[in-house]
Structure 1
Amino acid sequence: MDRATILIVDDEISNIEIINAALEDSYEICFATSGEEAIKLARTVLPDLILLDVLMPGMDGYEVCRTLKDDRLLADVPIIFTTGLDGLDAEARGLSLGAIDYVTKPIAPRLLSARVRNHIELKRLRDQLAEMAVTDSLTGLSNRRRLQQTLDAETARLARSGDWLSVIMIDIDFFKLFNDTYGHPVGDRCIAMVASVLNRAVRRASDLTARYGGEEFACVLPEAELDAAMAVARDIQAQVRSLGIPHTASAISSYVTVSVGVATARCLPGMAPELWIKQADHQLYLSKSAGRDRVVGGIFDTASAAG
């Protein structure tokens, strides 16, 4: 099992050293000495838990916590406040902002270690349940809920740099006729085999493959320009052909084929993530209208749609 990553945020290096000594044997440790630095680092390393000092110059711990909880990438990261403040009001304020625990200074290493261990285990259990909730049981791909979560997160992340995002929509051609001819169990096996193609064709760790519904699939390709996305789409098309799944009821081939639509654009602040699905679905419609078993794609202009 990979070691969890803990982000320590404190403007006093001596406090960071004490906490690091208590946790370094069990976790990967990174640290920041200001609120602004903590937010930037958190967005880069995506820690499993944050130990956050309350009293810091400039941006204090409460403001950092509020900013992190407003960030879709970091909202679910558990935060434990560490502070010399003593009193129910300070603790209640921290918990009301979304922190899960409160540890007072001076730090008791054994107590801190136990609390961190418990919260990391709880997070892993929550992550496992969340993974089950966003996985399609037939194919093992992500489901539509995970697709939406990924689009939300990636459009927000990429909008900060104005980078590219591509979405691919895939539909198995004449699948209703396939089910009518061969039966639903064979149809399920066909869907699972096409899903395996997506896993082979979409290789980057940052990419996502999902079953969109029925015989439709979707891929999210962050930082992929149109040419790169089209290459992936054509690879999917070719690999599905090479499966050689018989489809005698198809109007275009003796074997199972797919129609593919690709939509690419630069992410801008305020863009609705659903726009990429809408545009990719439109390209898929054009692919079907042109005769199926083909890839159609294009770049769409997001500037006029930005909020």
Structure 2
Amino acid sequence: MQLVNDKPTVLLVDDEKANLKILSDLLRDDANILLAKSGQQAIAKATEMMPDIILLDVIMPDMDGFEVIRHLKNQDTTHAIPVIFITGLADANFEEKGLELGACDYIQKPFHSAIVKARVKLHLQLLKQRQMLERLALIDPLTSIANRRKYEEVYDAEWRQCMRQGTTLSLAIIDVDYFKQYNDNFGHAFGDRALESVATALSHQLRRPKDFVARLGGEEFIILLPETDSVAAELILNNCRQAVESLQISHPRSKNNGVLTISAGGVTSKPKAQEGKDEVLKFADNMLYDAKNNGRNMVLWKELSN
């Protein structure tokens, strides 16, 4: 969790106030500090605040550090947070147990201040690198928008959210018209640039934080519009279509005024069951098929009845 000052957030967990103060004073120049005096507090604060790293004592009343890390690693929201044990237990068996439970490091008391700072800094750097790699794995390298893997994650999450709230979800599949002919005429390098321009034009039409666009592959894109009715969704997609046409990318082999255009098929539904996701995609694909067979450079939309 990055706060406004852009420092990483560290959760310190220890039932001894003196230890919390020592660690707080040691790290506060480099991190935002959260404090927890018990295992239950630690789990609650980790779940709510999502710290970047947790420094966790082992010996605590009611719930020890080993039980805390079990809870954290079993929760989807907290399982990836790095945990460093800081404890007076010097037995190698305890260190082995902590690492087996998922701790990334184990520091014995009495600790050396410089060592604690160095190890915390190291694990925060490793976390940052891992998060960067994870983000890159979800970005389409050509267009710099989300890729198919990211789309699948977002679609599943938004579908579940709409199911819980009883709200609508609009979805559109988009295809660049006569793109094979464009590549044949200008070459793949120009085709790649055209796809970049299309992706940018689509992105600029999506104004709300939850509106989402991804490249599925080739010349195909998908847009998700949570909590958007069919009228608003169709309007947004027509704005996308007009934005691409307005780029005036020359395409002599296109039958649509000699410029590059897109077609889209969209569906608005109120998710009821998890298995309905694939059916909605099929409907959207069918609407796209009809748009392409009816002259292209158009948006066709369908609202599914409940």
Q: TM-score range by the shorter chain?
A: 0.7 to 0.9
SS in 2 for 1:226: coil
Partner residue, 1:19 = 23
TM-score by length of 1: 0.77
Unaligned runs of 5+ in 2: none
Q: 1:261/1:83 Cα in 2 relative to 1: closer, same or farther (>3 Å)? A: farther
Residue 182 in structure 1 maps to residue 186 in structure 2: yes
Quick one: distance in 2 between partners of 1:67 and 1:264? 37
User: 2:53: which partner in 1?
Assistant: 49
- Classify 1:88/1:185 alpha carbon distance in 2 versus 1 (closer, same or farther; 3 Å): same
**TM-fit CA distance, 1:37:** 4.3
User: Using the alignment, how far apart are the partners of 1:133 and 1:38 within structure 2?
Assistant: 31
Q: For residues 159 and 235 of structure 1, do their structure 2 counterparts lie closer, same or farther at Cα, with a shift above 3 Å needed?
A: closer
Please report the RMSD computed on the Cα atoms of aligned residues, expressed in angstroms: 3.5
Match of 1:67 among 68, 71, 77: 71
Paired residue type of 1:210: A
- Which stretch of structure 1 is more off in the superposition, 29-38 or 285-294? 29-38
Aligned to 2:241: 237
Could you tell me how far 1:286 is from its partner in structure 2?
1.5
Do the aligned partners of residues 242 and 64 (structure 1) sit closer, same or farther apart at CA in structure 2, a change above 3 Å counting? farther
Cα distance change of structure 1 residues 299 and 99 upon mapping to structure 2, 3 Å threshold: farther
Pairs aligned (count): 294
Task: Give, as a single letter, the amino acid of the residue that structure 1 aligns with 2:246.
Answer: S
Partner SS state of residue 180, structure 2? helix
Q: Is the 8 A contact 1:162 1:266 kept in 2?
A: no
| CA 95–226 in structure 1, closer or farther in 2 if over 3 Å, else same | same
The within-5 A match list for 1:1-307 is 2-151=6-155, 158=161, 162=165, 167-204=171-208, 208-220=212-224, 224-227=226-229, 232-251=236-255, 254-255=258-259, 256-262=261-267, 265=270, 271=274, 276=277, 279-280=280-281, 282-290=283-291, 291=294, 292=296, 293-296=298-301, 298=303
Cα displacement string for residues 225-272 of structure 1 (whole angstroms, at most 9, x for unaligned residues) = 12365564444333223222234444555431231435555598xx47
Q: Which amino acid aligns with 2:290?
A: S
Structure 2: distance between partners of 1:229 and 1:106:
61
Mark the structure with the bigger radius of gyration. 2
Q: Give the Å deviation of 1:190.
A: 1.2
Shift in CA distance, 258/69, structure 1 to aligned 2, threshold 3 Å: farther
Q: Percent identity?
A: 37
Q: How far apart are the structure 2 equivalents of 1:230 and 1:11?
A: 57
Aligned residue type for 1:296: W
Q: Given that residues 234 and 295 in structure 1 are in contact (C-alpha distance below 8 angstroms), is that contact kept between their aligned partners in structure 2?
A: no
1:9-58 deviations in whole A, cap 9, x for unaligned? Answer: 33444433322211111112233444444444434443322223334455
TM-score with structure 2 setting the length: 0.77
